[in-house]
Structure 1
Amino acid sequence: MKDTEYLKVKGTKVLANEWGTLTQFKVDYRRKDGRWQEQIREAYDRGHGVACLLHDPETDCVLLTRQFRLPVWLSGSDPFLIEAPAGLLEGAQPEERMRLELIEETGFEVSELNHLFDAYMSPGSVTEYLAFFTGTYHLKNKVAVGGGAEDEGEDIEVVHVPLRDALGMMRSGEIRDAKTIILLQELALRQFSVSKD
């Protein structure tokens, strides 16, 4: 980390280093008016990740997962979140990792993935960005049981949801995961755009 004309790092302290690394930063930040201001911030680093929404054009279903999420439980909400399959890169290339995650979590293997964009999901406190993908799946593409890796604590239910229902679940609050909402909206916009042509 090098100092810049707008930021000087005065000190760091690792607060936790188990599943990811939580670091406290003491910095001087140069404001737009030129004044320097001391700030203390924390950043959580667990690496970058991937997420993908698979769509079956024959049934107009999307392939989602449902799994327990401790932070959601801690916030007092239903902790069994409905999500698009996702995972951490852990040194792999994004498309390679996404293919492995799809098989591990859902049991489905796809021939083609389309990279949409990369986005930071919580830039105020988390360093992670996600590479977003879409792809097409068919029931005949199932090659494994899915359900996630038990040794990683995963216990994943695979759900096939009609796109119309998934969009309704997003509006009603049944689907509350940001990456999944982004991918569902992107698919809906793409379909709307095709129908307008």
Structure 2
Amino acid sequence: MSVANRVRVEDVVTLSDDWYVLKKTRFSFLRSDGTWQTQSRETYDRGDGATILLYDVTRRTVVLVRQFRYPAFVNGHDDLLIEAPAGLLDERDPAKAIRDEVQEETGFHVGDVQRIFDAFMSPGSVTERLHFFVAPYRSDDRRSDGGGAVEEGEDIEVLEPTIETALAWIAEGRVRDGKTIMLLQYAALNIFGNRK
């Protein structure tokens, strides 16, 4: 049986439509024991996104960014957040969106990107599906300083650590962003492996 046959939406109220859309939905769900249970959930819809890890196997480096994230700050993270470049699709193809975003944030121009998987990052409340990519880069692929879009409040620093340093940053608590941890671990297992 499709999950769609187990859900009956009864009421949807928009709580906020400012930055993104926050809705409260009352629905009935057909439980495994055959009974219907009424539930209520809030969902935050910001659209789908994409993220990428640029890597250089020869120099064993990756490209990350550092920027201010207010939600992390109010939850006790008193530092800039180290992340893989990412952005919303805004109705673009995921591969095109991430090539545009990585150039805006880091200044690196990339051609072909490899999609490795997609994931719901916080499925209990956020509707976003995040598309994950990797791509090789070289130093001479950098066309500008990057830094992000000032009009969007971005003030981005570009980092180029070795894969070993980036993995150590996870253990030290310097990298706390879920998508970045996933990409770095993917790279350690599937791109860099035992190449030393």
TM-score range (shorter-chain normalised) is over 0.9
Q: Distance in 2 between matches of 1:16 and 1:55?
A: 39
- Matched residues in 2 for 1:80 and 1:33: separation? 47
Deviation of the 1:193 alpha carbon: 5.2
CA distance in 1, matches of 2:34, 2:96: 45
Unaligned runs of 5+ in 1: none
RMSD (Å) for aligned C-alpha atoms: 1.4
1:135 partner letter: A
Counterpart position of 1:146 = 146
Distance in 2 between the 1:82 and 1:4 partners? 38
Secondary structure at 2:180 match in 1: helix
Partner of 2:161: 161
Are the equivalent residues in 1 in contact too, given 2:53–2:133 (CA < 8 A)? yes
Identify the residue that residue 119 of structure 2 maps to in structure 1.
119
TM-score of the aligned structures, taking structure 1 as reference length: 0.94
The answer for unaligned runs of 5 or more in structure 2 is none
CA distance, structure 2, for counterparts of residue 106 and residue 5 of structure 1: 45
C-alpha distance in structure 2 between counterparts of 1:24 and 1:121, whole Å: 19
Partner of 1:53: 53
- What's the counterpart of residue 26 of structure 1? 26
Counterpart code for 1:164 = E
Secondary structure at 2:5's aligned position in 1?
coil
Tell me if the contact between 2:99 and 2:111 (Cα under 8 Å) persists in the aligned partners: no
The aligned amino acid for 1:87 is: G
DSSP 3-state at the match of 1:171: helix
Q: Is the 8 A contact 1:86 1:98 kept in 2?
A: yes
Checking the alignment, whether the CA contact within 8 Å between 2:60 and 2:192 is kept in structure 1 is no
Count of matched residue positions in the alignment of Structure 1 and Structure 2? 193
Separation of aligned partners in 2, 1:96 and 1:144: 18
Counterpart mapping for 1:21-100 below 5 A: 21-100=21-100
The residue type paired with residue 160 of structure 1 is E
In structure 2, the CA distance between the partners of 1:34 and 1:77, relative to structure 1 (3 Å rule), is same
Amino acid at match of 1:131: H
Contact 1:70 1:79 (C-alpha < 8 Å) held by counterparts: no
103-112 vs 44-53, which deviates more?
103-112
Tell me how far 1:194 sits from its aligned partner: 6.5
Residue 5 of structure 1: CA displacement? 2.7
Identity across matched positions, percent = 45
